[in-house]
Structures are given as structure tokens and as C-alpha cells.
Amino acid sequence: MNDIAISFQNVTKIYPLYHHITGGIKSLLFHPVKAVKSLKSSHFLALKDISFEVKKGEALGIMGKNGAGKSTILGLIAGVLKPTKGKIIVNGRISPLLELGAGFHPELTGRENIILKGVLIGLTRNEILKKMEDIIDFSELGDFIDQPVRIYSSGMLARLGFSIIANLNPEILLIDEILAVGDETFQKKCFNRMLSFKKNGITILFVSHSIENIRFICDRVIWLENQNIKAIDITETIVSKYIGNM
């Protein structure tokens, strides 16, 4: 049991559609019956009865079209969403790599944002300060680290984001289609770092549309289609099926 990092057992996720409530006073006043009824009836099925396990140190890729439920799976693992049915077990601290600049405050400097991001993902300030120089070195941002993040280019934001996550002792990495930005040398550096993570027993969940990147990182792949797992297997098997399906 202890070598399992993430386990989904018959997980179903249904979103109620909230725009009926957020329609506000007006719909509540003028169409009270309809408003209340619509609350009960409108749902959106995001994941249907999904089960899988990820071992510690494994890199699992998630592929699928837009709306297939990839982000919902990441949200459930991160603990920001609750499953409607089923059970999810996560062993380890989650480090989510967010899309460009998310979770940074534009007016704060790179250095201040490192601390902000660090405490958000669950570390104490001391732990972050100890790693500060490693993070700055890895990011290759130089003097820009003391400039406000709002003047960063998108490549620089990506560097900072990955450097923080990569150097703050991650246990489970969630990566959501992020590494498409930044120059090629830095991308290579990121992928090499991820490979060394795998060697050190860090679990990686990698959501991507890039078959090339999935091939490079992942041991196994989940193929999502219509809110369900269409196939789960070692990378080569899934990738060749996926390409055949396109």
C-alpha cells in the first residue's frame, strides 16, 4: 500500500452548473420556481467512474481532447475539488506547476514571489529561504530576480515557475501543459530535471497534448475520452493507438 502515491477508486465527478444561481436576485425574484428547479436539474458530468493507481516514482501521462476531464483529474488530486462519488487517496505533498504566471503577484519581485508560492504549496518560510539560492541559480534570471514580475517575459515567468517547483522538494508533481514556453535550452533543462526526479522516486503527473513530451517523460499513459478512461497502458502502446486514432 505504501508504494502507491495516488489512487482513484470509482471516482465520479459531477459539477452543478452554478450560473443559474449566479444569475442572482433577478431570476430568483421573477422566476422563483424555475430558478429553484434549474438548481436541481442542471449538472455536468466531468468524470465517470474512473479508477487507476500511480506508484511512487512513476510518471503518468494524461492525454485526451479538450473537455475530456484532464484538468478535473488534476483538481481532484490537488484537493481543490471533491469527488461526487468514489474515493481518492493521495500520499505526499502536491506541487502543482501552474500555467504562466498564475499564483504570482505582478507587483512583487521574483524573490518575493518565490516565498509566496512556496508557502502556498505548503512549505514554511525557513524551508524556502534555505533553497532560495538554488532556485535563483536554476532559473538563470540573474538580476531580474529583484525586479517586479510584471516586467518578465513569458519565458522568464515559465523559468521562475518551474525553478520554484523543481527546487522545493516536490513529492508529487502536477504538470499541466506548461513547458511549451521558454527557449529550447531551458526546456531541455526542465525535462532533464524531471528525469532525475523520477530516479529519486518523485511521482509525476503530466498532462499534455504533445506526444513527443509524453514519450520523453512518461512510463504509462491514461487516455481519456468522453469523461472515461478509454485506455491505460505503457506509453508506447497508448501513443501508437492515439496517433492511429487522430
Site residues (vs another protein, CB under 8 A)? 15-16, 18, 21-22, 24-25, 75, 78-82, 94, 96, 98, 102-103, 105, 107-108, 112, 115-116, 119-125
Of 32 and 122, the one with the shorter C-beta distance to another protein is 122
C-beta of 109 vs 228, nearer to another protein:
109
Determine contact, residues 223/238, Cβ cutoff 8 Å: yes
Instruction: Report how far apart the first and last C-alpha atoms of the chain are (Å, whole number).
Output: 37
Query: In whole angstroms, how close is the CB of 244 to another protein at the nearest point?
Result: 33
Work out how close the CB of 124 gets to another protein at its nearest, in angstroms, rounded to a whole number.
5
**Strand (E) or helix (H) holding 184:** helix 184-199
Q: Which is nearer to another protein, 175 or 211 (CB)?
A: 175
Give the nearer residue to another protein in terms of CB position, either 54 or 94.
94
Query: In the complex, what is the shortest distance from the CB of residue 92 to another protein, in angstroms, rounded to a whole number?
Result: 13
Q: Which is nearer to another protein, 80 or 89 (CB)?
A: 80
3-class DSSP assignment, residue 54: strand
> Minimum Å distance from CB 18 to another protein?
5
User: What's the closest the beta carbon of residue 237 comes to another protein, in angstroms?
Assistant: 31
Provide the grid cell at 67. Answer: 473537455
Separation of CA 73 from chain center: 9
Q: Could you tell me how far CA 3 lies from the centroid of its own chain? A: 21
Residues near 65 by beta carbon (within 8 Å), at least 6 away in sequence: 225
**In angstroms, how far is CA 218 from the centroid of its own chain?**
15
Query: How many whole angstroms separate alpha carbon 77 and alpha carbon 4?
Result: 13
CB of 45 to another protein, least distance (A): 13
Q: Which three cell numbers stand for residue 213?
A: 513530451
Compare residues 97 and 217 and give the one whose CB is closer to another protein: 97
